[in-house]
Structure 1
């Protein structure tokens, strides 16, 4: 059985999800332009403004427009104005960029003419990656980061965008992990964010056009899950770090912060994981997350990117009575999803032996 990708239900309706319905609504009934087309069509039929269809359609279009305007205003209040981004002048550092989401983002920016530095302990999966300079580095090692930072400064210039994406998954119950695995997980998944941010943020502050810090967290940081105690704890810490850092950076409006909290990604990191519910919690393709991250960076915005739909509303889970929370966990299957976990390391070992587990 091929475990290189997270498993999904093999059925004709597998691609159908709550996110698909929302995307359709966002370009139809929930889009201000489309909403105003409806009363215009009624008017083209010479209906009076006092008729019920006209009044209902105008009320709906007004409501949708106010929602859209409110969202724009809310974003500006929360994150402020954008910063000017010139890709020819940007130096982008991507940790954990040798594969998966990090490599996708690095390749896109490399092909678009930006200067990209990839930091990873693993070799680049794509040997044809253009515009990327690879630095072998364990981001959990402060000394290695300091050495590589000096190399990047000398070779490429002062970094203006930092994408903290490096992660490891042990995938064991707490009682089955040894302390070295715990240390490795927390260092890579949490402490590395402190190390890289402390290293590269001062240069961004000195830069006239500022910079952008992207924090790749996870919805698991809000929920927790069996066999993910270390990973969940680290991601919860990463989310808290990002929010606290954003508050501290209010005195530097040119420094933008982007928090990414995806659900289950279709990457080797979670190879073999069983998808609890493909309708509510579909597997997210890395390219979809990469597009949103790249869009926010290009526009010079601060943002919070949550995918799929439930990831943007997950905070409401903790508002539920504890009994309903328990029932929700059982129905979702989240605590059983890691039972089929294979992981990146085991997948790579099986491929070297000439077969897939």
Structure 2
């Protein structure tokens, strides 16, 4: 395909369709942390403060200069430690040229997967989407995406779709396992069929797509695998038992995949990305109210997608965890059980699903 950027008509959302919110609604801990990351906690800015003090002929023995220098050295050390840690954990980045890559996205008609697919489609990348939803051929052509109607919970359908993708686009080198469904039922109200369906789509489909596409990556000697899990995989939640259990399984699957790839000499250039978002503003959790908009804001697919695309195109492995609390949730499990209980109680997370309108308590499809 041509490497030129395709012009696509876009209709922006109407402002008056959204409820007016007070200014403090948009003030979140994530925003504060973001600003601090580019100011007080940034090594370059920290050294600029030192230089400014010296420009004012501040003596080295003055306490303010000593504090500024100590802070700048601390921020520099933390930054270097982070870079070294990532290199040890994930290795060197691989070279990525979108013209030479074939991208496969499961559940890519709408939500996060749809955003990623359309973004790469606008950039004329070789993009294939697996989804149960059918897309009109004219719409697919306008978006520059090849859609394959496929139920990823069915291994035979995935294998057949994989063969078609290879014939149409070439060997897949980037796999984004995004398909997922949720059902808001208690454990006692769930049937065996409900739980099985959720696990087949959310968990077993990952095994199927990995078996279908990773052999091509090994043959090509390069690739990127994105696993979309959830922060609830670390936490669990009332009335979301099947969903949270299926996402927790993906956390273990991701680590097992990394371990197996590390043992394969042909997989040195295959990168892995784990995505553990908090509540996203998609149809999947329509009606769920976040316990705290300040501490646990709802993230948009664009925010998650931006970080996924950045890692993919830099050829790096890594983790994407938004909002901020998602990065530190694993620490909760190391705290005393009493503290864990109080955090869950104060956050109100186990009551969030119970507040959904009963009319909305139905199976929500792909992200």
Give yes or no for TM over 0.5: yes
Partner residue of 1:355? Answer: none
Over residues 44-69 of structure 1, what are the superposed CA-to-partner deviations in whole Å (9 max), with x where a residue is unaligned? 11122222221111111111011111
Offset of residue 187 of structure 1: 0.3
Task: Determine whether 1:174 maps to 2:187.
Answer: yes
- Partner of 1:147, secondary structure, is helix
Question: CA shift at 1:113, angstroms?
Answer: 2.2
1:8, distance to aligned residue in structure 2 (A): 10
User: How far apart are 1:145 and its partner, in Å?
Assistant: 0.3
What secondary structure is seen at the aligned counterpart in 1 of 2:130? strand
1:266 aligns with one of 269, 281, 296:
281
After superposition, the Cα gap between the structure-2 partners of 1:344 and 1:44, relative to the gap in structure 1 and judged at 3 Å, is farther
1:319 to 323, 326, 334: 334
* One of 219, 240, 251 as aligned partner of 1:239: 251
Match of 1:196 among 209, 213, 234: 209
Q: Distance in 1 between matches of 2:139 and 2:85?
A: 43
- The residue number in structure 2 matching 1:99 is 110
The secondary structure found in structure 1 opposite 2:39 is coil
1:191-340, aligned counterparts within 5 Å? 191-208=204-221, 210-250=222-262, 251=264, 252-340=267-355
Q: For 1:253 and 1:175, how far apart are their aligned partners in 2? A: 45
- Is 1:64 matched with 2:75? yes
Cα distance in 1 between the residues matched to 2:114 and 2:313: 17
Cα RMSD after superposing both structures: 2.0
Kindly indicate whether residue 172 of structure 2 is the aligned counterpart of residue 149 of structure 1: no
Q: Structure 1: which 5+ residue stretches go unaligned?
A: 1-6, 348-357
Pick which of 115-124 and 58-67 moved more: 115-124
TM score, norm. by length of structure 1: 0.92
Instruction: Report the CA distance between 1:10 and its aligned residue.
Output: 5.0
2: distance between equivalents of 1:81 and 1:343? 45
The alignment partner of 1:187 has SS state of: helix
Divergent runs of 4+, >3 A: 7-12, 123-129, 343-347
Question: Are the aligned partners of 1:8 and 1:14 in contact in 2 as well (CA < 8 Å)?
Answer: no
Verify the 8 A CA contact 1:97 1:118 in the aligned structure 2. yes
Using the size of structure 2 for normalisation, the TM-score is 0.89
Q: Is the 8 A contact 1:266 1:286 kept in 2?
A: yes
Q: Deviations over 1:271-304 (max 9, x none)?
A: 1111111111110111000000000000000001
Range that drifts further, 41-50 or 260-269: 41-50
| 8 Å Cα contact 2:105-2:128 kept in structure 1 | yes
SS state of the match for residue 176, structure 1? coil
Count of residues in correspondence between the two structures: 341
**Closer, same or farther in 2 for the Cα pair 1:8/1:334, shift >3 Å?**
farther
1:15 positional shift: 1.3
Asked if structure 1 preserves the Cα contact closer than 8 Å seen for 2:182 and 2:364, the reply is no
Distance 1:43 1:131 in 2: 56
For residue 332 of structure 1, report the CA deviation from its aligned partner: 0.5
